[in-house]
Amino acid sequence: MADEYWDRWFNWRKRSPFFRNIFGDIDEVFREMEEMMQRQFEEFSRRTPKDLVRERTLPDGTKVREWGPFVYGYSVTIGPDGKPQIREFGNVKPESRFGRPQIDIKEQREPLVDIMETDGEVKVVAELPGVEKKDIKLHATETTMTISVDTPQRKYYKEIELPAKVDNKNPKASYKNGVLEVTFKKKKERKFKGEPIVL
């Protein structure tokens, strides 16, 4: 009886101009959403670096395409000035172009980095899981530090602005359990005494 009732109701709904207009509008909205998602997926596929696209054969012989890994995250810490500092990490960056949201995808992943500053030191801590110590390349100037890893399994890259001038000649660096720590001594500011001027 209940099945018969629902069948009658749905048949009446299809014939009714009122319901046909409402459900027709909803069907149109869903169709537009599907087209938009299809366009976004095609754009996403086109912009994905080749190293992040793989083809795998399933046990039944079917071939499937896989993308990734895609990583995006951020950390929030309170800086010495009391203001929040937001640092992004990963290989996916949301951005806006021509007023439209876009996703920028890179082969190299930005590691999660934390920077700690004391009176005499600046310490940089970076998470680099799945990496051998020998594969990590570090470069530092007085004001920046660059972390780079380029292996078939993992690619990391990050350029870090340091909060103070440092002595980049003799930093202390260690790597253990996927965590890199680099400690710099702050550069001492030279205070020049003025020369007397004779009139």
22 falls in which pLDDT band (50, 70, 90)?
Answer: low
CA distance 98 to 185: 44
H/E/C letters for each residue in the chain?
CHHHHHHHHHHHHHHCHHHHHHHHHHHHHHHHHHHHHHHHHHHHHHHCCHHHEEEEECCCCCEEEEECCCCEEEEEEECCCCCEEEEEEEEEEEEEECCEEEEEEEEEEECCEEEEECCCEEEEEEECCCCCHHHEEEEECCCEEEEEEECCCCEEEEEEECCCCECCCCCEEEEECCEEEEEEEECCCCCCCCCCCCC
125 or 55, higher pLDDT:
125
156 falls in which pLDDT band (50, 70, 90)?
Answer: very high
Class assignment of domain 66-185?
A: mainly beta
CA distance 91 to 118: 30
190 or 136, higher pLDDT:
136
pLDDT for position 2 = 47
66 falls in which pLDDT band (50, 70, 90)?
Answer: confident
